[in-house]
């Protein structure tokens, strides 16, 4: 097997449950998805690493959303990396793949040689869930803290969901014998079953900036179970997480056989974007003909580029805006 060979468990998220400890979780393996996300832009290495981490977190968290729902993760900061945005689109039908897209905006001149997370300044980590037309989107926000994006995600679940949650992630480039670089990523998410939360709203937490942690939310037998499962997860190594030679089910047996793991149907994920010319026209429909004229290029067209997938749209200025000829405003 070569590093670039497609494996049956690549680009999948496998949900599982540990019956002994009342803990649930997911194993994610990303291959082509991550490569397609990152090749859309020529990111510096520090930014690439942050986008990869966000995409992996998005796959792990997104597996729980329902058909046709949309999950978005965002990091907004005053640092060199101003924003990282990811979207996870739930399958349109049972058995169909979910879709992931991601991008980052950054100030190249402000990037440093430090760790990827050092490029993110003060700001917040947000989780947004859109259940579709006619519904009010859900939004949860937590400060950027803890020294990594995954720590922000763990803090979000403690603060907003009051669920002890942990992520173990690894990602990066492997190089084949021929010198071709190839992205792989893998991760495990574990989470206490929802019934276990005991935190009283309003209390401060033991984490950075008073954020809640897993220890603030559980006690007694549940705390013992959680600590034991975390002890097992601590034994995982990077090669096991990215999984070129070990399946997700074998990994779970290796880590958690004493916890009686049960697996459910794996969710395939693919790179995918929801942009379209119709959506671009709709976004421009609030502008007058005078405004559209200011957006018109020297070639006499209005153009738009999708930050997620790089799609380039070219339109006749007479056909966009609320004063469009022929009612083609979208």
Domains of the chain: 12-271 (3.55.30.10), 277-327 (3.90.1280.10)
The pLDDT tens digits for 192-218 are 988 644 444 445 666 776 777 777 888
The two tokens of residue 74 are 């965002």
The two tokens of residue 265 are 């149907």
Tokens 């005078």 belong to: 290
Q: Considering only CA atoms, which of 90, 88, 14, 10 is closest in space to residue 55?
A: 88
Is residue 162 within 8 A of residue 199, CB to CB? The reply is yes
Give the number of C-alpha atoms closer than 13 A to the C-alpha of residue 67, restricted to the C-beta side: 5
CA 79 to chain centroid: 20
CA 325 to chain centroid: 40
pLDDT of residue 143: 94
Backbone phi, psi, residue 189, to 5°:
-115, 130
pTM recorded for the entire structure = 0.84
The pLDDT tens digits for 138-168 are 999 999 999 999 999 999 999 988 999 999 9
Weakly modelled stretches of the chain, pLDDT under 70: 1-6, 175-179, 195-206, 209, 326-330
> Residue length, the chain?
330
Backbone phi, psi, residue 254, to 5°:
-65, -40
Helices (H), the chain: 32-38, 45-62, 149-156, 214-217, 220-233, 238-242, 248-256, 277-284, 289-295
Backbone phi, psi, residue 105, to 5°:
-115, 140
């Amino acid at each position: 097997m070569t590093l670039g060979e497609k494996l049956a468990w690549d680009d999948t998220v496998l949900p599982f449950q540990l019956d002994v400890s009342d803990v649930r979780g997911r194993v994610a393996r990303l291959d082509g998805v991550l490569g397609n996300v990152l090749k859309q832009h020529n990111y510096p290495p520090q930014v690439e690493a942050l986008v990869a981490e966000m995409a992996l977190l998005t796959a792990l968290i997104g597996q729980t959303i329902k058909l046709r729902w949309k999950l978005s993760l965002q990091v907004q900061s005053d640092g060199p990396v101003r924003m990282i945005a990811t979207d996870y689109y739930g399958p349109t039908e049972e058995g169909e793949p979910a879709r992931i897209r991601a991008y980052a905006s950054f100030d190249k001149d402000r990037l440093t040689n430090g760790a990827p997370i050092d490029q993110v300044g003060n700001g917040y980590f947000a989780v947004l869930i859109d259940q579709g037309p006619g519904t009010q989107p859900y939004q949860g926000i937590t400060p950027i803290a803890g020294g990594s994006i995954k720590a922000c995600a763990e803090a979000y679940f403690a603060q907003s969901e009051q669920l002890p949650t942990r992520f173990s992630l690894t990602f990066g480039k492997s190089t084949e014998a021929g010198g071709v670089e190839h992205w792989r990523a893998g991760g495990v998410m574990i989470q206490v079953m929802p019934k276990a939360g005991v935190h009283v709203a309003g209390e401060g937490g033991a984490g950075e900036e008073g954020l809640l942690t897993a220890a603030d939310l559980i006690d007694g037998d549940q705390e013992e179970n959680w600590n034991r499962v975390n002890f097992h997860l601590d034994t995982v190594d990077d090669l096991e997480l990215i999984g070129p030679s070990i399946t997700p089910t074998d990994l779970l047996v290796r880590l958690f056989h004493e916890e009686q793991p049960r697996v459910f149907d794996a969710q395939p994920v693919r790179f995918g974007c929801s942009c379209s010319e119709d959506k671009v026209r709709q976004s421009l429909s609030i502008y007058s003909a005078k405004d559209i004229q200011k957006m018109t290029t020297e070639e006499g067209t209005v153009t738009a580029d999708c930050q997620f997938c790089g799609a380039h749209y070219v339109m006749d200025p007479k056909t966009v805006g609320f004063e469009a000829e022929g009612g083609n405003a979208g």
